[in-house]
Amino acid sequence: MSRQAIPAVAIRALVTGVALLLAACAGPVAPGNIAPPVAVPAVWQQGTGGVPLDRDALSRWWTCFDDPVLTGLITGALGSSPDVRTALSRVAEYRARRNLERAGLFPALNASVAGGGTRTRDRATGLTVNSESFTASLDASWQVDLFGTQRLALDAASADLAQMQENYRGAQVTLAAAVATAYVGLRSAEAQLAVVQHSLGTREETVQLTQWREQAGTGSALDTQQARTILAQAQAAIPALQLAIVQSRNQLALLCGRGPGALDDPLAAPRGVPAAPANLPAGLPAEILRQRPDVRAAERGLEAALARTSAARRQRLPALTLTGSLGVEAPGLSRLSDPATVVASLLGGLTAPIFDAGRITQTIAIQGELQQQALIAYEATVLRALGEVENALVAVRRDAERQEILGRATAAAGEAATLAGLQYQAGQVDLLVSLDAQRTLLDLQQQSVVSTADRAGACILLYQALGGGWPALLFPSPPVRP
């Protein structure tokens, strides 16, 4: 073979090898075109469906309760909660990580200046010669992204950033629901305490009446002790309710990034349990998947995993590195602008892996499993989202039914307690009948308060399940594709 034929053969071999490697390293489906891995129903089983979501109203759903204190608490918490501020800091961190990956696409340029001196003494002549030299250079290096490996790494970093943004939205959703739930718990405890304290007056009157009858000889000591027992039972419920009030206030303070007791004054004025809104949006399942931050975050995580798997496969392809240098040399520092010598160089190197003991293969296997895990996590998130909405819808419906039934029962128990008290005073019924009526009324009144709170809590869970509680225009990102 002639010396002139060798370069052509080498070039053809290199091109053939690159083509084979490209065919072997074909990546998966491109990120950004992902559908949920489970079937999404057209409508909700427990809802009417078909009602489009008002995303602007959903982002501030707590205003539907028409409670300015609740609105102020949630607004303050969204701006000062440690959890939300931590999530926002992670967004800034991953934005810097993405920018770091982006910087890898560009050449790196370094400047250097060096100087040195020598001193030579000739023993024969006794002369000493001093010399100085200074050099300055600009050195550049660039790893050319021939096959898009670095671009895929940048895509993965961008998906990571988008996932952190969705997590920030999710932190807002969770926080708003937690504040509203704690607030409803506070007002529920306050309302129950008011009911118990109101019942104490009636029970104290019963105790006084039994004492008068005992003294007059028309009653017995047993009736007096039974009346006192019922009174003490009601009094025993007060400390537990007072404890729940203090704990709820402290929980609200912590959720708002404040110390325990910091919100005692704003929360001192008692208010009723927030009434559930009459009309609740359900939307369509596909709309909810686009709205929920956790579903969107799971999709972004899968996109990042797909990009990293494809990047790992392209590690088998050749890499091209370009380096260049421009330098000057002068006998003095002041003469660098008028150098005696100018040196320039440009070097390109193409390298390809031949043997690495399976390192690239195992890296691809690792990334493939991480991609599979991300896909499973995405599937689980979609299923959880659908289940949470269905459960919240049925809870809203059943709690409303229970509240209505308890309302009727409480009204009837109130009339029964009044009649039993009058008949006992007239001597027509035994004391136990009156005491039992009082006990039943108090129990139903407390159940009615709890039912009202449960219905409000179910509405809060529904709003949370719908993905409400974050501004729709903050950190815009592509919607989930159902």
Q: Are residues 123 and 177 in the same domain?
A: no
Residue 242 within any structural domain of the chain: yes
In angstroms, the CA 398 to CA 386 distance is 19
Contact 338, 330 (CB under 8 A): yes
Specify the CATH number for the domain of residue 138.
Answer: 2.20.200.10
Task: Give residue 36's pLDDT.
Answer: 66
Q: Which of 306, 328, 351 is the last residue of a domain?
A: 351
pTM, to two decimals: 0.81
Could you tell me what percentage of the chain is helix, strand and coil, using 3-state DSSP and rounding each to the nearest 5?
65, 10, 25
Q: Do 261 and 249 form a contact (C-beta atoms < 8 A)?
A: yes
Q: How far apart are CA 274 and CA 26, in angstroms?
A: 58
**Domain identity same for 150 and 140:** no
In a domain, 365, yes or no: yes
In this structure, are residues 314 and 299 in contact, taking their beta carbons and an 8 Å threshold? no
Indicate if 300 and 202 belong to the same structural domain: yes
Quote the pLDDT of residue 424. 75
Total domain count, the chain: 2
Torsion of CA 415, 417, 418, 422, to 10 degrees: 140
Q: Let me know whether 137 and 211 are in one domain.
A: no
H or E segment to which residue 321 belongs: strand 319-330
Assigned domain for 385 exists: yes
Q: Tens digits of per-residue pLDDT, 108-122? A: 888 887 766 677 776
Question: Which domain CATH number covers 168?
Answer: 1.20.1600.10
Q: Which amino acid is at 378?
A: Y
- In this structure, are 157 and 222 located in the same domain? yes
> Is residue 203 located within the same domain as residue 174?
yes
The token pair that represents 243 in the structure block:
């404890």
Pair 329, 407 in one domain: no
Q: Are residues 303 and 421 in the same domain?
A: yes
Distance CA 402, CA 65 (A): 20
Tokens at 315, concatenated:
């590690």
Query: Does 9 map to a domain?
Result: no
Last residue of a domain, one of 327, 351, 375: 351
pLDDT given at position 8: 40
Residues of the chain with pLDDT under 70: 1-36, 47-52, 115-117, 122, 126, 129, 131, 213-214, 218-219, 282, 330-342, 471-482
242 CB neighbour count, 10 Å cutoff: 13
Residue 470 near residue 59, CB atoms below 8 Å: yes
Residue 218 has a pLDDT of 66
What's residue 333's pLDDT? 58
Residue 417 structure tokens: 């307690």
Residue 480 lies in a domain: no
| Same-domain check for residues 266 and 117 | no
Tell me, yes or no, whether 149 and 240 share the same domain: yes
Of 199, 180, 178, nearest in space to 71 by CA: 180
Q: Answer yes or no: are the C-beta atoms of 350 and 320 closer than 8 Å.
A: yes
CA distance 117 to 115: 7
SS3 17: helix
Query: Do 279 and 327 sit in the same domain of this protein?
Result: no
CA angle in degrees (0–180, nearest 5) for 458-459-461: 65
Residue 311: predicted pLDDT? 93
* 323 within some domain: yes
Q: Encoding tokens for residue 191?
A: 């309302």
Which residues form the domain of 116?
Answer: 108-144+318-351
Same domain, 37 and 114: no
**Is the residue at 274 inside a domain?**
yes
326 belongs to a structural domain: yes
- Give the pLDDT of residue 426: 78
For 200-229, write each residue's pLDDT tens digit: 777 777 777 777 766 777 667 777 777 788
pLDDT value of position 204: 75
Give me the pLDDT at residue 10, please: 38
Residue 140, classified by CB atoms within 10 Å of its CB into exposed (0-12), middle (13-18) or buried (19+), is middle
Single out the residue of 368, 384, 367, 369 nearest to residue 297, CA to CA.
384
